[in-house]
Amino acid sequence: MAAQPTTAPAEGATPVILEMRAITKEFPGVKALDRVSLSVRAGEIHSICGENGAGKSTLMNVLSGVYPFGTYTGQIIFQGQEMHFRDIGSSESAGIVIIHQELALIPELSITENIFLGNEPRRFGVINWVEAKKRAIELLARVGLQDDPDTQIKNIGVGKQQLVEIAKALNKQVKLLILDEPTAALNESDSQHLLDLIRGLKGRGIASIMISHKLNEIEQISDSITIIRDGKSIETLDVKKDGANEDRIIRGMVGRVLENRFPDRSPDIGEVFFEVKNWNVRHPLTSERMVVKNSSFIVRKGEVVGFAGLMGAGRTELAMSLFGRSYGTFISGQVFKDGKEIQLRNVPEAIANGLAYVSEDRKALGLNLLDDIQDSIVSAKLQKIARLSVIDRVEEHTVAESYRKELRIKTPTVEEGVNKLSGGNQQKVVLAKWLFTDPDLLILDEPTRGIDVGAKTEIYGLIRDIAAQGKGIILISSELPELLGVSDRIYTIFEGAITNDLPADEATPETLLRSMTSAKQKATSK
């Protein structure tokens, strides 16, 4: 790691802690970054915005040493010195810590063990766990977490896991904290707590770089915003001086004005074709805990039915338990399709009865990241392209290519690995996979989580088009504007029970929140 002094900041100005100058990074056949520049001041909250595939994460991987010096061109100047990071360890030694969207915690280890993993305090060559626990308690207090440091990571929620990651960073004497989609999996309360903590770090002089697709949070917390488009830095906005509201940010990200993020649609809603009655499911590990309680609902042909609830309310548990009892222990309940009772005892049975489920976790449950695009698209119903139990590879390619064009999946070829796609394009592959099964009811669980505003608009258009074909859609989302903008009708869930059923044009964020936080049940539509 080399060091070269640079020009000092002007007297009275907040010093620049980081400069990235003309960073260019290429992969085979793709220029991911093209002379991107970035400047961050000490104690500043600096956000990076851009569509999926714009180069945001690639830029941060260059900064943190994931892509080491020599694999890119350009300069990284940190605290007045040019840095040549060989790996993550060398960037962390300098005080730069990155927290990825997929948290780097080991579920079976305790909070203490995770905080000090690879950096344990020692005495005479032996790990001093008494000292580690003492320091863990101090670090947890700094991030506002009061859990026992001996608690296993798997036993705390995602919001608390984010705080543990920040505690790890504080233990490493962080000077610049990089957060990649830190609130993507958090509910509103946990998100606000995390944003308040980032503000608190700013008060201690710690600079933060935040990547997020939640533009309302970006606008709320940022001092400045750098916009990246197609691998190039387009502009940097001073939030106070430049009036950087959501519309202004979007215009920079997509290069055009998005007049309506929720496409206009004239729903043609038919009769009830899917009905669930008195559905009850227990937690898979804690038998006394009911995660779905006596839930009943209906879906009509051509209808988009939203499900709103706080994290842990039971939305995903309800959806997965219906989709072939993929979650929990089924207790009782009935499902009717076109007026006849059907059995959904396993996933093949659910698919055969016309159900499809797009998971909220596309990487762990929606895709095999070792597969290519064409294998992924046909994987849920191979018999459609099989001849005498042998897969027809020509037909497979034809099918995948048709979905690539229809869903506008950005890839040079359908033989590309899905792990090389951006989040938005991975989500389109998951949608294609389930559309290939010809479902009558498509369950979408957080379908726009972690994807950019342009890709979101495309997903909303797909939802509109699928509903126009007379199919029913269940939309689970933590974003109330999304539910209100896309749904025809919205159910609310609280502690596993459905508490309300509202036409979307009569619902407001206030009425939804009231029903999402109350056990009092109201009559549902018939």
Same domain, residue pair 318 and 184:
no
Give the contacts of 260 (CB within 8 A, at least 6 positions apart): none
Boundary (domain end) residue, out of 148, 173, 198: 173
Condensed to tens digits (0 to 9), the pLDDT of residues 491-508 reads 999 889 999 999 999 998
Q: What CA–CA distance (Å, rounded) separates 178 from 218?
A: 14
Q: Are strands 390-391 and 96-99 parallel, antiparallel or unpaired?
A: unpaired
The C-alpha angle 218, 219, 223, rounded to 5 degrees, equals: 85
Same domain, residue pair 169 and 188:
no
Q: What is the dihedral of CA 143, 99, 245, 52, to 10 degrees?
A: -160
| Helix (H), strand (E) at residue 320 | helix 315-322
pLDDT of residue 522: 54
Of residues 234, 212, 3, the one with CA closest to residue 99: 212
Condensed to tens digits (0 to 9), the pLDDT of residues 89-100 reads 999 999 999 988
Q: What CA–CA distance (Å, rounded) separates 6 from 1?
A: 16
Of residues 92, 509, 49, the one with CA closest to residue 255: 49
3-class DSSP assignment, residue 298? strand
Q: Judge contact between 270 and 440, C-beta under 8 A.
A: no
Boundary (domain end) residue, out of 173, 194, 216: 173
According to the 3-state scheme, what is the secondary structure of 109-120? CEHHHHHCCCCC
Per-residue confidence band for 478, with pLDDT thresholds at 50, 70 and 90: confident
Condensed to tens digits (0 to 9), the pLDDT of residues 13-36 reads 579 999 999 999 998 777 889 999
Phi, psi of 352 (to 5 degrees): -65, -30
Q: Which comes out higher in pLDDT, residue 259 or 395? A: 395
pLDDT of residue 260: 67
Of residues 233, 210, 213, 234, the one with CA closest to residue 222: 210
3-class DSSP assignment, residue 7? coil
Q: What is the dihedral of CA 326, 329, 332, 334, to 10 degrees?
A: 0
What is the pLDDT averaged over residues 329-338?
A: 96
**What interhelical angle do 158-171 and 188-203 show, nearest 10?**
10
pLDDT of residue 257: 58
pLDDT of residue 502: 95
Of residues 419, 403, 443, the one with CA closest to residue 368: 419
Examine residue 452 and state whether it is found in any structural domain, yes or no: yes
Per-residue confidence band for 7, with pLDDT thresholds at 50, 70 and 90: very low
Q: Judge contact between 6 and 80, C-beta under 8 A.
A: yes
Could you tell me the two tokens for 203? 């008060």
Cα 75 to its chain centre, rounded Å, is 31
Examine residue 305 and state whether it is found in any structural domain, yes or no: yes
Phi, psi of 424 (to 5 degrees): -65, -40
Chain mean pLDDT for the chain: 88
| Helix (H), strand (E) at residue 462 | helix 453-468
Examine residue 263 and state whether it is found in any structural domain, yes or no: no
Q: Judge contact between 93 and 78, C-beta under 8 A.
A: no
pLDDT of residue 13: 57
Examine residue 525 and state whether it is found in any structural domain, yes or no: no
Examine residue 100 and state whether it is found in any structural domain, yes or no: no
Q: Are strands 30-41 and 441-445 parallel, antiparallel or unpaired?
A: unpaired
Q: Judge contact between 437 and 356, C-beta under 8 A.
A: yes
Same domain, residue pair 293 and 195:
no
Same domain, residue pair 363 and 445:
yes
Beta-bridged to residue 386, according to DSSP, are 391
pLDDT of residue 408: 85
Give the contacts of 93 (CB within 8 A, at least 6 positions apart): none
Is residue 521 pLDDT above 60, yes or no? no
Per-residue confidence band for 519, with pLDDT thresholds at 50, 70 and 90: low
Same domain, residue pair 371 and 238:
no
As to burial, measured by CB atoms within 10 angstroms (0-12 exposed, 13-18 middle, 19+ buried), residue 336 is middle
Beta-bridged to residue 463, according to DSSP, are none
According to the 3-state scheme, what is the secondary structure of 119-140? CCCEECCEECHHHHHHHHHHHH
Examine residue 266 and state whether it is found in any structural domain, yes or no: no
Is residue 6 pLDDT above 60, yes or no? no
Q: What CA–CA distance (Å, rounded) separates 467 from 472?
A: 6
List the CATH number of the domain containing 353. Answer: 3.40.50.300
Boundary (domain end) residue, out of 143, 173, 203: 173
Same domain, residue pair 112 and 227:
no
Per-residue confidence band for 115, with pLDDT thresholds at 50, 70 and 90: very high
Could you tell me the two tokens for 146? 């009061």
Examine residue 324 and state whether it is found in any structural domain, yes or no: yes
pLDDT of residue 190: 80
DSSP 14: P
Domain that residue 215 falls in: 1-95+175-258
pLDDT of residue 256: 61
Per-residue confidence band for 53, with pLDDT thresholds at 50, 70 and 90: confident
Q: Judge contact between 306 and 477, C-beta under 8 A.
A: yes
Give the contacts of 519 (CB within 8 A, at least 6 positions apart): 494, 495, 497, 499
Same domain, residue pair 280 and 329:
yes
From the CA atom positions of the chain, what is the Rg in Å? 24
Same domain, residue pair 179 and 162:
no
State which of 121-135, 177-191, 447-461 shows the largest mean pLDDT. Answer: 121-135
Give the contacts of 36 (CB within 8 A, at least 6 positions apart): 20, 22, 23, 24, 55, 59, 74, 228, 231, 232, 233
Same domain, residue pair 158 and 212:
no
Q: Judge contact between 194 and 148, C-beta under 8 A.
A: no
Condensed to tens digits (0 to 9), the pLDDT of residues 290-309 reads 899 999 999 999 999 999 98
Q: Judge contact between 396 and 432, C-beta under 8 A.
A: no
Condensed to tens digits (0 to 9), the pLDDT of residues 218-269 reads 888 999 999 998 899 999 999 888 878 888 887 887 776 556 678 888 889 9
Same domain, residue pair 380 and 434:
yes
Count of the separate structural domains present in the chain: 3
Same domain, residue pair 389 and 463:
yes
Model pTM? 0.64
pLDDT of residue 12: 47
Same domain, residue pair 330 and 193:
no
Examine residue 475 and state whether it is found in any structural domain, yes or no: yes
